[in-house]
Homo-oligomer: A and B are copies of this chain.
């Protein structure tokens, strides 16, 4: 049995279930739909196979993940219930995304989660559903905005209102408030196919106009200790 906190507290209980290392990242992967063990392992660079196995067993025991036919694992409704929590955590994590893209592993699917976490339903009134196709480093998906709901679907859209082509690093710089969307467009870091007006509307769905939605906490801002500290 895994380590528990032994606090009669909703947060501590949640962490008893999904607080261990790698667990929430496993859930992150499955948010996009069921996956096989191998795919899961491929999209979680660094995880030992044995640990992934253990996590899946644990999550199944809690009813968060279920094993479907043919060695595929998917979230139960309970597991999908973690979506808002993961969204808020991801949104907060944008404060700390590194300025320079490090040699970290990356999968374009990550940014779908980030986009979801920044979605502000209510900004940008749209009558019918709006469809935006994204092409990020070879990966294609599209967002469907309908009223107050946002869905992201893998693959190209049939007839998108806008097509956006860019790279992950640029998206991160925009999301963390270090690059304004208009600048990204003018400098060619973001290329669009469609009306400029539609681009602005798309942007307004995720961030307030002229404002940095997620102020970035730089590497020096990380150190709040006033005086000199031992650097070992």
Contacts and interface: CB of A to CB of B under 8 A. Distances in A.
Given A88-B84, A217-B63, A222-B61, A106 B11 contact: no
Interface string A1-17: 00101111111111111
Interface residues of A, number: 64
A110 B224 contact: no
Nearest to A114: B10
A78 to B, nearest CB: 6
Nearest to A225: B60
Contact of A105 (B8, B28, B81, B90): B8
B15 A24 contact: yes
A11 B63 contact: no
A91 B5 CA distance: 17
Interface in A170-192: 172, 175
A10 B9 CA distance: 26
Interface string A40-65: 00000110000000000000111100
Interface stretch (A95-103, A158-166, A199-207): A95-103
Interface in A87-126: 87-98, 101-102, 104-107, 110, 113-114, 117
Interface of A: 3, 5-17, 19, 21, 24-25, 28, 45-46, 60-63, 66, 76, 78, 81-82, 84-98, 101-102, 104-107, 110, 113-114, 117, 168, 172, 175, 217, 221-225
